[in-house]
Amino acid sequence: MRKRTAILISGRGSNMSALIDAAKAPDYPAEIALVVSNNPDAPGLARAREAGITTAAIDHRPFGKDRAGFETALQSILDAHGIELVCLAGFMRLLTAEFVAKWQGRMINIHPALLPAFKGLDTHARAIAAGAKTHGATVHFVVPEMDSGPIIAQAAVPVLADDTPERLAARVIVVEHKIYAAALRAVAEGRNRVEEEPD
Ligand code: GRF
């Protein structure tokens, strides 16, 4: 049985599209059953609908500081669609430790840097400013601490002498799409699992 997978987005959704395309392969072990955005205007929502995927928008703004309220709404839509795996793909909301715990080992994220370097935002500009010669992308299991958690896949790209953040981002996004599809495959097949540390 293919794992029913939801993708959470906030923006353009190019990683989302890469996962939707990868999941078209008959032997792909995950089915993209739902795309959810916290931003009702996310361009990725239209892209998902064009690809025939069910979408939902849960605007976080009416919830204000009530993160748990937003997450209750999110959880009920994931439950309603029988979701087994969650992929964060440019989802720009921090999730509470309680929500993350519910999805432990079943929620993955892509980050545009070679973690543990350059957690957080503006990774490409920061890599250039630091004089990094190599940069890249990481797919990891989500844990309560942001941009941390067991690494599933990484890919590196060179940082060139005349790089701008935009040029570097364009080089990184190509490998993001590849490693995210490969990582979701590995997780859906059970080849990458989070196990409790033995006592
Ligand atoms: C990607 O660079 C991803 O790594 C980061 O946010 C960006 C989202 O891009 N978390 P897209 O919406 O997938 O095109």
Q: What pLDDT digit, counting tens, does each position of 105-161 carry?
A: 999 999 999 999 999 999 999 999 999 999 999 999 999 999 999 999 999 999 999
- In the reported structure, the alpha carbon of residue 74 is separated from the centroid of ligand 1 by a whole-number distance in angstroms of 20
Atom number in ligand 1 closest to CA 10:
12
Whether the Cβ atoms of residue 104 and residue 194 lie closer than 8 Å to each other: yes
State how many domains the chain has: 1
Domain containing residue 29: CATH number: 3.40.50.170
Q: State if residue 111 touches ligand 1 by the CB under 6 angstroms criterion.
A: yes
In testing the pocket of ligand 1, which one of 20, 176, 180 has its CB within 8 Å of the most ligand atoms? 176
Residue in 128, 124, 139 with CA at minimum distance from that of residue 172: 124
- Asked if the model's pLDDT at residue 199 lies above 70, the reply is no
Distances (CA, A) of 106 to 75, 121, 177: 13, 24, 19
Any catalytic annotation for residue 111?
yes
Please indicate, yes or no, if residue 199 is contained in any of the structural domains.
no
- pLDDT value at residue 193: 82
Name the residue with the closest Cα to ligand 1, atom 8. Answer: 90
User: Torsions phi, psi of 11, nearest 5?
Assistant: -135, -130
- Work out the burial of residue 128: count CB atoms within 10 Å of its CB; fewer than 13 is exposed, 13-18 middle, 19 or more buried: middle
Please indicate, yes or no, if residue 198 is contained in any of the structural domains.
no
- Asked if the model's pLDDT at residue 14 lies above 80, the reply is yes
Predicted TM-score (pTM) above 0.85 = yes
Contacts of 28 (CB under 8 A, 6+ apart): 2, 22, 185, 188
**Which domain does 56 fall in, by range?**
3-188
Residue with tokens 């690809």: 51
- Asked if the model's pLDDT at residue 198 lies above 70, the reply is no
Query: Each residue of 95-110: pLDDT tens digit?
Result: 999 999 999 999 999 9
Please indicate, yes or no, if residue 146 is contained in any of the structural domains.
yes
Atom number in ligand 1 closest to CA 89:
13
